[in-house]
Structure 1
Amino acid sequence: MSTTPDRPPVERDPVALAARARELRDRPGRALLGLTGPPGAGKSTLGAALVQELGPGAALLPMDGFHLANSVLAALGRADRKGAPDTFDGAGYADLLRRLREAAGTETVYAPRFHREFEESYAAELAIGPDVRLVVTEGNYLLLPEEPWVRVPPLLDEVWYLDPDEELRLSRLVARHISFGRAPEQAHAWAHGTDQANAVRIAATRPAADLVVRPAPRG
């Protein structure tokens, strides 16, 4: 990842975003593109769209696979803060990114996948083959300037910060919690409580991004 100014450039055009990702893919070797932003910003949606647009040479790696198991969170007394930085195996995530760089062109790397319907991760469910030229990885804490997250940015070629309208982001987040089984009042409380506390921390990392992504204006 390159050093960025205090005010990263802003991009709204999906076509331009795909072109920028394609340029990363077409570099020699393997590139890693990070997508970050607060909960509900649309990171997984953009990541999936980019990978679909770029085809077999690209793969998606969500950071969510590195959630600590619910039993571990309960033992640590952190279950009511699930989603906070210390409820992930951040060091394991950084180690996987490093391995993806080292294994380019030589071996398949397996990664965990988080299942929201169970609120748990399954090990080695994602397979990233040796021919993948661009790994798009998305998560909340890619730019957090503290251990172990500070190990992540040097492993990424670029990091884009997703910055949607706040009202839209919160409505998406509440709807997502409801879709995975929370009652509406619980969904609202979690989105405006635990999630919002995390969002404030994540927003402070915005100046370190290479690019800020905002939704295209509706016309």
Structure 2
Amino acid sequence: MTAVAATTAELVARARRLAVPGERRILGIVGAPGAGKSTLARAVVAGLGPALAVEVGMDGYHLSNAVLADLGRRERKGAIDTFDDAGYAALVARLADARPGDPPVFAPVFRREIEEPVAAGVAVASDVPLVVTEGNYLLAPTGAWPAARARMAEVWYLDAPDDVRLARLEERHHAFGKSRDDARRWARGSDQVNAELIRATRDRADVVVRWSI
């Protein structure tokens, strides 16, 4: 699938077509670690405004560090089996089924400063027509990920050059406490393994985007 170059304004306009008052649609944004998914999701939501869109990330369904340690997966945090995919799919279903007049749905968030998920970190009002959700594994064909994908009106795969992605990842890991060497090893080790798995799902997207801010 060929990547389409698009500006923020063009992507906001595409998302606006999904934001129909009185209805509820889910827009997914997927891509490898460091591709810029959360930045794009925030830009789309800001461009549409709070009456039309709200962001709900997949990262709120990270397993806690304690659970990962018990499972022996702490050193692979971010891998596909370090998320509660069934919980995420259930949330997406609740969000997709909500209609004006229903109570809000509370979704978890992931706090990088503590590297842990936090319950009920965002309230999604029922009259907001578009929920923008972003994460690594929205197009994965295993587990409960397909059930989540089935409730999304559209999924964008955000493509980014590897050198740009890796530089972002190294800076992110360093900013949140890793040494420069550890940040580089994590970005080019565990993160890169995950990136290859995610890249294999690219052709399942509705559109592949090269985003120019």
The TM tier, using the shorter chain, reads over 0.9
Q: TM-score, normalised by structure 1?
A: 0.93
Structure 1: which amino acid aligns with 2:14?
R
Structure 1 CA distance, aligned partners of 2:204 and 2:17? Answer: 21
Aligned to 1:39: 33
Residue deviations 1:162-193, cap 9 Å, x none? 10111001100100001111100000000000
Residue deviations 1:83-140, cap 9 Å, x none? 0011000100000000011222112000111111101111111100111110000000
Structure 2: which amino acid aligns with 1:192?
R
Structure 2 CA distance, aligned partners of 1:148 and 1:8? Answer: 27
1:10 Cα shift? 1.7
**1:8/1:157 Cα in 2 relative to 1: closer, same or farther (>3 Å)?**
farther
Aligned to 2:128: 132
SS at match of 1:214: strand
Instruction: Say which of 144, 148, 152 aligns to 1:148.
Output: 144
SS at match of 1:152: helix
Structure 2 CA distance, aligned partners of 1:104 and 1:98? Answer: 12
1:25 Cα shift? 0.5
Aligned to 1:20: 14
CA contact (8 A) 1:62 1:137 kept: yes
RMSD: 1.3
SS at match of 1:24: coil
Structure 2: which amino acid aligns with 1:72?
V
Aligned to 2:62: 67
**1:174/1:9 Cα in 2 relative to 1: closer, same or farther (>3 Å)?**
closer
1:213 Cα shift? 1.1
Aligned to 2:97: 102
Does residue 1:115 correspond to 2:100, yes or no?
no
Structure 2: which amino acid aligns with 1:159?
V
CA contact (8 A) 1:8 1:207 kept: no
CA contact (8 A) 1:11 1:211 kept: no
Structure 1 CA distance, aligned partners of 2:3 and 2:80? Answer: 27
Does residue 1:175 correspond to 2:171, yes or no?
yes
Structure 2: which amino acid aligns with 1:86?
D
Runs of 4+ in 1 over 4 A off after TM superposition: none
Aligned length: 211
1:216 Cα shift? 2.9
Instruction: Say which of 73, 81, 101 aligns to 1:78.
Output: 73
Structure 2 CA distance, aligned partners of 1:166 and 1:13? Answer: 20
SS at match of 1:111: strand
**1:54/1:91 Cα in 2 relative to 1: closer, same or farther (>3 Å)?**
same
Structure 2 CA distance, aligned partners of 1:197 and 1:211? Answer: 23
Task: Give the unaligned 5+ runs of structure 1.
Answer: 1-6
Query: What is the identity percentage for the equivalent residue pairs of Structure 1 and Structure 2?
Result: 52
